[in-house]
Amino acid sequence: MTPTITRTKAEPLIGKRVKRREDPRLITGTATYVDDIQMPGMHHACIIRSPHAAARIRGINVSAAKETPGVVAVFTGEDAKGVGPVPCGASLPGLRVPHHYILALDRVYFAGHPVAVVVATDKYIARDAADLVEVDYEELPAVADPEKAIAEGAPAVHPEWPDNVAFNFHQEGGDVNQAFAEAEVVLKQRITSQRLIPTPMETRGVVAEWKSGDKSLTVYSSTQIPHLLRTLLAGMLGLPEHKTRVVTPEVGGGFGCKLNVYAEEALMGFVAMKIGKPVKWIESRRENYLCTIHGRGHVDYFEIAAKRDGTILGLKLKLIQDLGAYHQLLTPAIPTLSVLMMPGLYRFRNISADIVGAFTNCVPTDAYRGAGRPEATHGIERMVDILAAELNMDPAEIRMKNFIKPDEFPFATATGLTYDSGEYDKPLRHALEVAGYQKLRAEQAQARTDGRLMGIGLSTYGEICAFGPSPATPAGGWESATVKIEPSGKVTVMTGASPHGQGEETTFAQIAADELGVDIDDVVVLHGDTAVVQYGIGTFGSRGTAVGGPALYYALQELKVKIKKFGAMLLDSDDVSFEDGVCTCNHSGRTCTLAEVSGAAHRAMKLPPDTPPGMQATYFWEPPNFTFPFGAHLVVTEVDRDTGQIQIKRYVAVDDCGRIINPMIVDGQVHGGVAQGLGQALYEQAVYDENGQLLSGELTDYAIPKATMMPWIESAHTETPSPVNPLGVKGVGEAGTIGCSPAVVNSVVDALSGLGVRHLDMPLTPEKIWAVIQKGGQA
């Protein structure tokens, strides 16, 4: 057999704009998302949900539904109460954790709470029969606003905890009291980060298949964390973990909301085991808005202390987090991330923060793109601008003055983090230059003379990425990779990260192709099936490449050692090098290809000393630290005085995510991140009425940006490698979102500053802006 010759690479692929290897299936409609799965005998589930935000269930009558031809089962909370609770993976001192049944037992806690499930041979029949389930509710008073929830006399979300406080959390660093005592200026501001609905274009969905002969369950779910889901589902259902398999097919966007374990995932497992047939549930968009986690939901009270020369001395925060009715996987941990990132990019070391976690009769909040860091960045970047305005300083100048300097890294923050590397002034200077800052300020002065409302806004953000060192995460913060070189020399990579749009099938192939010196077409990257891929943690918190990438790098290094051993044996040499996919004897110059090496390792006619056959390596990489990307966004706006409409005239984003593997993909992440940040700044808000009814419960009422609502983003990069990992990468998934909202709001506040406007809460709808202008600057 002639081994396949792998073509050698001409130049490194890392850093190149390599077209995505996942795209051919996606642009031809041949990818398989969970709703595309069909199985013989597959049944369909429809879930009955509470129309009330708080109610007692007096009774449920399922008989009419059960009699419907085609319906095979109806289950209620009573039937499913033996299934373990929906898990909360976060722990905080004194945390109150309500028992979260997968179907409500005798009480519902938010509108959309699952109450019963109808299973039928056809989804139209299941939907029809769901209307025949009669639930007798006794409506109870509800509370949807977190500040009202923790006020005296509010209805209790959970009767056992009448104060609605799930936890109090305090963190401080340095001496904040002294900082405030010494301050020449102290400024206070209430700043909200409204509830947002993540809105991946693919809703959630689950297919569960029970194999009674093997007593094994396979769950296909649109999730970001197949392995963690498997561990937790097995626990909930009382199944052995090794007989539980989770498969993540193509995932149509996650943004954090699929970094979770949901009631419906366990419920479909339960149903499949009960009926002995595969069952599918696909979330409707209405359900997605009512029942999949929301993000943000902060009311923040900030106080900043400074000297009159602009030196920031300290920051205080009282943070009220709207938790919703339950803790989902990470709910109570999210606001603690806000506290960690309170110092931003600035040198001050005096901080104090108090979080109150408030239960409300709403769907839980949890990780949504940025998860706690956008809220923190929005706060600190607003406060810096408020301070600059008070001191009559230029917003760029005050930032430069307070930045941590390059020679101060690694930098220990007041919140206990160690920033890895940074040159914080570089992206800012670059953004100012690209935008033509001085000229813009001159234009602004002219615009004001002409009576136009033009604004220039900056944000210089830092973020914490690459979650993370395991001691700082609830379920392990490492990541894994396996590399197999097949007998023909073709390469299979299996990553424990579970990408879903981030393009790691391409970037990881770039890394493997470079390290092994093979053609990228000879590399395939697999992920997302617990029966195929070694245990992994998943994709979230900008960790896919920043933690999964190094795991792959180290697996490749192990393999290269083995390649050289077999190469030495084949070449009968004691000194070989391996480059560009070829082993070379450094004495004779004789060579053998990777295919020849791998073929020899698999045939194993002869083995090098102390070397087992085969050509495979698995590496579990524990990161020694987080990574800390940073950047500067500059936004030019013009506000229409008569309508309150905001026009984004320029959007300049300069991001530093460390070393860039694929600039095309990095820019794509920035664009998408900015779109979600802009959504928060201008358009999006999950609105509950006082009875806990979600008013923005459909795409008609929840304004995610359309193509006409987005500006052209002028994206550029600086590259400050991270010393935390051998690739020097930092992560970029959330940067755009984190950098965006304060830059936009700062710009609009700047535009309206002539009217005396100091702060505006998001979203900056035309109606809100118009009202402020009408009232002469009073918010």
Partner 1 sequence: MKRQISVTINGRTRTDEVEPRLLLIHYLREVCGLTGPHIGCETSLCGACTVEFNGQAIKSCTMFAVQADGGRVTTIEGLASNGTLHPVQEAFWEEHALQCGFCTPGMIMAAKQLLDRNPAPDDPEIRHGIEGNLCRCTGYQNIVAAVRSAAAKMSA
Q: Kindly list the residues in this chain that would bind partner 1 in the complex (CB under 8 A).
A: 19-20, 22-33, 35-36, 38, 124, 199-203, 250-253, 255, 282, 284-285, 500-503, 664-665, 667-668, 671-676, 698-700, 704-708, 710, 712-713, 736
Least CB distance to partner 1 at residue 249 (A): 11
Dig out the tokens for 206 from the structure: 């689950």
Q: Please state, as a whole number, how many other Cβ atoms lie within 10 Å of the Cβ of residue 214.
A: 9
Q: Backbone dihedral region of 18: left (phi > 0), alpha (psi from -120 to 50 degrees) or beta?
A: beta
Least CB distance to partner 1 at residue 431 (A): 18
Contact assessment for residue 327 and residue 110, using Cβ atoms and an 8 Å cutoff = no
Least CB distance to partner 1 at residue 703 (A): 11
Q: Could you write out the DSSP letters of every residue in 293-307?
A: PBB--EEEEEEEEE-
Of the candidates 297, 407, 311, 412, the one whose C-alpha atom is nearest the C-alpha of residue 356 is: 297
Q: Which is nearer to partner 1, 23 or 138 (CB)?
A: 23
Which DSSP category does 761 fall into?
A: P
Cα Rg for the chain, rounded, in angstroms?
Answer: 28
DSSP bridge pairs for 136: 59
Dig out the tokens for 356 from the structure: 């109150």
Least CB distance to partner 1 at residue 19 (A): 6
Q: Which residue has the tokens 């005239």?
A: 649
Q: Which is nearer to partner 1, 422 or 679 (CB)?
A: 679
Q: Which is nearer to partner 1, 398 or 670 (CB)?
A: 670
Least CB distance to partner 1 at residue 747 (A): 18
Q: Which is nearer to partner 1, 252 or 379 (CB)?
A: 252
Q: How far apart are CA 634 and CA 624, in angstroms?
A: 33
Q: Which is nearer to partner 1, 663 or 723 (CB)?
A: 663
Least CB distance to partner 1 at residue 663 (A): 10
Q: Could you write out the DSSP letters of every residue in 103-145?
A: S-SSEE-STT-EEEEEEESSHHHHHHHHTT-EEEEEE------
Q: Which is nearer to partner 1, 344 or 742 (CB)?
A: 742
On the question of a cis peptide bond just before residue 374, with omega within 30 degrees of 0, the verdict is no
37 alpha carbon, distance to own chain's centre: 26
Q: Which is nearer to partner 1, 39 or 442 (CB)?
A: 39
Provide the 3-class DSSP secondary structure of residue 267: helix
Distances (CA, A) of 143 to 286, 318, 358, 692, 765: 21, 21, 11, 6, 25
Least CB distance to partner 1 at residue 710 (A): 5
Least CB distance to partner 1 at residue 668 (A): 5
Contact assessment for residue 92 and residue 195, using Cβ atoms and an 8 Å cutoff = no
Q: Which is nearer to partner 1, 444 or 545 (CB)?
A: 545
Q: Which is nearer to partner 1, 26 or 151 (CB)?
A: 26
Contact assessment for residue 367 and residue 392, using Cβ atoms and an 8 Å cutoff = no
Q: Could you write out the DSSP letters of every residue in 1-57?
A: -PPPPPPPPSS--TTS-PPPTTHHHHHTT---BGGG---TT-EEEEEEE-SSSSEEE
Q: Could you write out the DSSP letters of every residue in 333-376?
A: GHHHHHHHTTTTTB----EEEEEEEEE-SSPPB---TTTTHHHH
Q: Which is nearer to partner 1, 352 or 737 (CB)?
A: 737
Least CB distance to partner 1 at residue 226 (A): 16
Of the candidates 578, 613, 606, 612, the one whose C-alpha atom is nearest the C-alpha of residue 592 is: 578
Least CB distance to partner 1 at residue 161 (A): 36
Q: Which is nearer to partner 1, 22 or 719 (CB)?
A: 22
Least CB distance to partner 1 at residue 687 (A): 17
Q: How far apart are CA 456 and CA 168, in angstroms?
A: 38
Environment class of 673 (CB within 10 Å of its CB; exposed 0-12, middle 13-18, buried 19+): buried
Least CB distance to partner 1 at residue 182 (A): 44
Least CB distance to partner 1 at residue 680 (A): 13
Please report how many Cα atoms fall inside a 13 Å half-sphere around the Cα of residue 88, on the Cβ side: 23
Q: Which is nearer to partner 1, 468 or 679 (CB)?
A: 679
Least CB distance to partner 1 at residue 202 (A): 4
Q: How far apart are CA 570 and CA 275, in angstroms?
A: 58
Least CB distance to partner 1 at residue 727 (A): 21
Q: How far apart are CA 345 and CA 379, in angstroms?
A: 13
Q: Which is nearer to partner 1, 40 or 609 (CB)?
A: 40
Q: Which is nearer to partner 1, 17 or 170 (CB)?
A: 17
Of the candidates 376, 387, 381, the one whose C-alpha atom is nearest the C-alpha of residue 311 is: 387
Environment class of 235 (CB within 10 Å of its CB; exposed 0-12, middle 13-18, buried 19+): middle
DSSP bridge pairs for 139: 55
Q: Which is nearer to partner 1, 100 or 369 (CB)?
A: 369
